[in-house]
Chain A
Amino acid sequence: MKIANYKLSSLLLKGALLVAIVALFFVAAISYKQIQSLNESGKSVFHSYEVNIELERLNSYAKDAESGQRGFILTKDSSFLKSYYSALYKAHESINKLKKLTSGNFQQSKELDNIVNLLDLRFNFLENVLTSNDYKITATDTLKGLIIKGRELMTHVHNHVDKVVSNEMEFLSLHEIEHEKDIILSPFSILFIVILSMVVFILAYYKIKADLKRLTKANNKLLINKEIFEQSEQLADMGNWCWETETNDISYSKNLYHLLGCEPDEFTPTVEKYLTFVHPDDRENVINWCNDISKGILVTSITSRIIRKDGVLRYFKSNGRIINDIFGKTFAIGVTADITEQQDTNRIIEDKVAQLEKSNKELLAFNHIASHDLQEPLRKVQTFISRIRENDFETLPEKLKDYILGIERASVRMGMFIEDLLMYSRSNNVDKVFELTDLNVLLENSIQQFSQQIEEKKAVVKLLTKLPTLYVISFQIQQLFNNLLSNSLKYSKPDTAPVIVFNTKILQSTDLPGLPTGPYSKYYIISISDNGIGFEQKYAGQIFTLFYRLHNKSEYSGTGVGLAICKLIVENHKGFIMAEGIPNKGTTIVFYLPA
């Protein structure tokens, strides 16, 4: 799983959480404000009702006082006076209460003042009536007039009270409008926001769940990979280490402990502890290497000797590099391999290569010896013999003549050996220059070269199909044709004219059973068949060996080098050569050249 994916996911979750929290805060603030406003509107309703009730009370107290007064005037019973005063007292109390209630409202206080004034007038008027009653004002007309006036005053009071009540109702409705205004968001919107927040939370939950699932999967995969890694390390004799350069905390993989000959977590890894395993002569190198790594210098791998816990000397090769992890921490991470076996193998290979180089040089020196130093004395022997043969040969005793002739034959044979050997080693150590060559021309050259022998033996050379034109080392293929033609002429039956047949076929490499064909898909198969003395098939493998001969040198001259050279030449061309023979019937040599 990619790191960027996780970062995005975490950012997404943070955003969702923030949106949900902001929405909830908003809802909480709105709710608080609305409850507050509801509370206030309730209070104002209650206030209005309190004012109204108090006004009704005042009204009834005024009426009580009036009826008390009337009773007293009519009956002269002082008990009516008592109820009159009590009503008067209560009316004053009520006025005080109302004054308190309307203290914040200028218009209402003014109306209340009017009411109080009217009431005061009314009560003063009542007092006057009562006083006149005490002083026996009995004139019925006057009394009647007073009562009528009192009723007019009371009607005024009632009107004012009604006005105050209606005012109060008006205030209440005004309050209601303001309250409506306060509720900016309807309860429906609040519900919507809450649901939205819940949806955000649910989505976030699912996202977290999905991330967790992915993380679990990744963890599982990590677990499997760790196991694979551990097994690989074990198999490859490798270990790894992780070095937090700032805190100097180091951790080793299990196998690194094993490579040091210890159990996992046997010790707390430190640079100093590791150095105790390093061979004393290599410690300085390793210290410098570690320093370079911790400074962030790019280093090449280091090979150092390690003395394992069990005292065995091993060769360790280490690689290391500074990296920064996702959290920005700096680590040096490295891999260490036990390359002791590789080192040993390398040493063996190096020894072998050195041996090969030495023997190659010796071979070249041998070639030089063969071409110069060995030929020189032989040439002199032959020249001295030719001097004897020219000058005093006939005067020599017969026995001595035979000896001289013996020396001559042997020296000629030795010359042949040297020549063939030189040719063989030249076939092997030649600069391999491949040129596009028409093999028919090469064969024609060979036939030309052996024309004398062909004529002498009345031989017939047939070409069934034309030979191909190929990229070859031409002089070597020339040599190949020469050797093969020479063999067919040499090993012919004494009483039969040789018939030598060349044939060419082309074959897919898949049709060549039992041959290691290499990268080539097609091969030309060129065969040379003769009707000579042949050979037994059991020798087919050996006849290409250097110096291997099937015949006594007195029957057929030869050094046993010719076919060995043929084999070398065909192999130089990435081909194969084989021989088939039937005694007294003939020999077929087949060679394959990649097309």
Chain B
Amino acid sequence: MEDDVLHILLTDDDADDRLFFKEAMEEIKIKTVVSFLNDGVQLMDYLNQPGVRLPNVVFLDLNMPLKNGMECLKEIRMNSRLSDLVVAIYSTSGSEKDIEDAFVHGANIYIKKPNDFSKLKSTLAQVVTRNWHYHTLGLKKENFLFSFNELNV
């Protein structure tokens, strides 16, 4: 039965955001195990443990102390063991530069943190249940930034 449960990992230094994420995930009717890390150093240490069970999706904040999200993304994509890991950027920033950089360095999707709890819930539901193998094949710059219009698709 373990395999039906989605393992989700959020790395974010902001406690409020971790709380919103946790509450939103709890309210989605999907079986998930959500773990939290506080910064990039913790994330890389965790992923680099030998024999660790890799999460189905890693949500990664960009603006973090010690090691920021973009550095983590680069390290993940350079590591052959982690190169297939699904990485969703989860940031307050909506700047063109951040979106562009994340795309170039191989993130799977870019989520600008919503300012409404119900939007947050639907976004997370969409993202965690997505068929990532299929989605990655058709990944383009145009559909890289997560938008709510996709809900209707």
Chain A: residues with CB nearer than 8 A to chain B? 371-372, 375-376, 378-380, 382-383, 386-387, 390, 415
Give the shortest distance, in Å, between A478 (CB) and chain B (any CB): 14
Cα of A380 to Cα of B92 in the assembled complex, Å: 10
A382 lies within 8 A of B116 (CB):
yes
Name 17 A/B residue pairs within 8 A (Cβ), A-sorted: A371-B93, A371-B94, A372-B92, A375-B93, A378-B115, A379-B113, A379-B114, A380-B17, A383-B20, A383-B114, A383-B116, A383-B117, A386-B115, A386-B117, A387-B23, A390-B117, A415-B115
Kindly list 6 other residue pairs between chains A and B, CB separation below 8 angstroms, not including A372-B63, A380-B17, A415-B115: A371-B93, A375-B92, A375-B93, A379-B115, A382-B116, A383-B116
Instruction: Give the chain A neighbours of B116 by CB distance below 8 A.
Output: 382-383, 386
Cα of A338 to Cα of B32 in the assembled complex, Å: 80
Instruction: Give the chain B neighbours of A379 by CB distance below 8 A.
Output: 92, 113-115
A386 lies within 8 A of B95 (CB):
no
Give the shortest distance, in Å, between B44 (CB) and chain A (any CB): 23
B118 lies within 8 A of A390 (CB):
yes
Instruction: Give the chain B neighbours of A382 by CB distance below 8 A.
Output: 115-116
Cα of A383 to Cα of B23 in the assembled complex, Å: 12
Instruction: Give the chain A neighbours of B95 by CB distance below 8 A.
Output: 371
B6 at the interface (CB under 8 A from A): no
B92 lies within 8 A of A376 (CB):
yes
Give the shortest distance, in Å, between A393 (CB) and chain B (any CB): 12
B4 at the interface (CB under 8 A from A): no
Query: Of all chain A residues, which has the CB nearest B23?
Result: A387
Cα of A375 to Cα of B14 in the assembled complex, Å: 14
Instruction: Give the chain A neighbours of B113 by CB distance below 8 A.
Output: 379
B142 at the interface (CB under 8 A from A): no
Main secondary structure of the interface of B (DSSP, over half): loop
B16 at the interface (CB under 8 A from A): yes
Cα of A390 to Cα of B95 in the assembled complex, Å: 30
Cα of A357 to Cα of B3 in the assembled complex, Å: 57
Cα of A589 to Cα of B63 in the assembled complex, Å: 42
Query: Of all chain A residues, which has the CB nearest B96?
Result: A426
Give the shortest distance, in Å, between A169 (CB) and chain B (any CB): 136
Instruction: Give the chain B neighbours of A390 by CB distance below 8 A.
Output: 117-118
B54 at the interface (CB under 8 A from A): no
B120 at the interface (CB under 8 A from A): yes
Size of chain B's interface in residues, with CB distance under 8 A?
17
Cα of A386 to Cα of B114 in the assembled complex, Å: 11
By CB atoms of chain B within 10 A, which of A380, A383, A386, A387 has the most? Answer: A383
Chain B: residues with CB nearer than 8 A to chain A? 14, 16-17, 20, 23, 63, 92-95, 113-118, 120
Give the shortest distance, in Å, between A415 (CB) and chain B (any CB): 7
Cα of A372 to Cα of B17 in the assembled complex, Å: 14
Give the shortest distance, in Å, between B39 (CB) and chain A (any CB): 16
Query: Of all chain B residues, which has the CB nearest A367?
Result: B95
Give the shortest distance, in Å, between A246 (CB) and chain B (any CB): 68
Instruction: Give the chain A neighbours of B23 by CB distance below 8 A.
Output: 387
Instruction: Give the chain B neighbours of A380 by CB distance below 8 A.
Output: 16-17
Cα of A383 to Cα of B95 in the assembled complex, Å: 21
Give the shortest distance, in Å, between B67 (CB) and chain A (any CB): 17
Instruction: Give the chain B neighbours of A375 by CB distance below 8 A.
Output: 92-93
Cα of A77 to Cα of B63 in the assembled complex, Å: 183
Give the shortest distance, in Å, between B33 (CB) and chain A (any CB): 23
Give the shortest distance, in Å, between B60 (CB) and chain A (any CB): 16
Give the shortest distance, in Å, between B126 (CB) and chain A (any CB): 18
Among B63, B93, B115, the residue within 8 A (CB) of A383 is: B115
Give the shortest distance, in Å, between A221 (CB) and chain B (any CB): 67
Instruction: Give the chain A neighbours of B17 by CB distance below 8 A.
Output: 380
Cα of A448 to Cα of B121 in the assembled complex, Å: 29
Instruction: Give the chain A neighbours of B118 by CB distance below 8 A.
Output: 386, 390
Cα of A434 to Cα of B114 in the assembled complex, Å: 33
Give the shortest distance, in Å, between A365 (CB) and chain B (any CB): 14
Among A372, A387, A415, the residue within 8 A (CB) of B93 is: A372
Give the shortest distance, in Å, between A457 (CB) and chain B (any CB): 23
Cα of A372 to Cα of B13 in the assembled complex, Å: 14
Cα of A386 to Cα of B115 in the assembled complex, Å: 8
Query: Of all chain A residues, which has the CB nearest B16?
Result: A380
Give the shortest distance, in Å, between A408 (CB) and chain B (any CB): 10
Cα of A468 to Cα of B17 in the assembled complex, Å: 48
Instruction: Give the chain B neighbours of A387 by CB distance below 8 A.
Output: 23, 117
Cα of A380 to Cα of B115 in the assembled complex, Å: 7
Cα of A375 to Cα of B117 in the assembled complex, Å: 16
Query: Of all chain A residues, which has the CB nearest B20?
Result: A383
Instruction: Give the chain A neighbours of B114 by CB distance below 8 A.
Output: 379, 383
Among A372, A378, A383, the residue within 8 A (CB) of B120 is: A383
Query: Of all chain A residues, which has the CB nearest B92?
Result: A376
Query: Of all chain A residues, which has the CB nearest B95?
Result: A371
Cα of A437 to Cα of B116 in the assembled complex, Å: 38
Cα of A386 to Cα of B119 in the assembled complex, Å: 10
Instruction: Give the chain B neighbours of A383 by CB distance below 8 A.
Output: 20, 114-117, 120
Instruction: Give the chain B neighbours of A371 by CB distance below 8 A.
Output: 93-95
Instruction: Give the chain A neighbours of B16 by CB distance below 8 A.
Output: 380
The 4 closest A-B pairs by CB, nearest first: A382-B115, A386-B117, A379-B115, A386-B116
Instruction: Give the chain A neighbours of B94 by CB distance below 8 A.
Output: 371
Instruction: Give the chain A neighbours of B93 by CB distance below 8 A.
Output: 371-372, 375
Instruction: Give the chain B neighbours of A386 by CB distance below 8 A.
Output: 115-118
Instruction: Give the chain B neighbours of A376 by CB distance below 8 A.
Output: 14, 92
Give the shortest distance, in Å, between A370 (CB) and chain B (any CB): 10
Instruction: Give the chain A neighbours of B14 by CB distance below 8 A.
Output: 376
Cα of A382 to Cα of B120 in the assembled complex, Å: 12
Give the shortest distance, in Å, between A502 (CB) and chain B (any CB): 28
Cα of A40 to Cα of B92 in the assembled complex, Å: 136
Query: Of all chain B residues, which has the CB nearest A426?
Result: B96
Query: Of all chain B residues, which has the CB nearest A475?
Result: B96
Cα of A371 to Cα of B98 in the assembled complex, Å: 11
Give the shortest distance, in Å, between A385 (CB) and chain B (any CB): 9
Give the shortest distance, in Å, between B25 (CB) and chain A (any CB): 14
Query: Of all chain A residues, which has the CB nearest B93?
Result: A372
Query: Of all chain A residues, which has the CB nearest B120?
Result: A383
Give the shortest distance, in Å, between A568 (CB) and chain B (any CB): 17
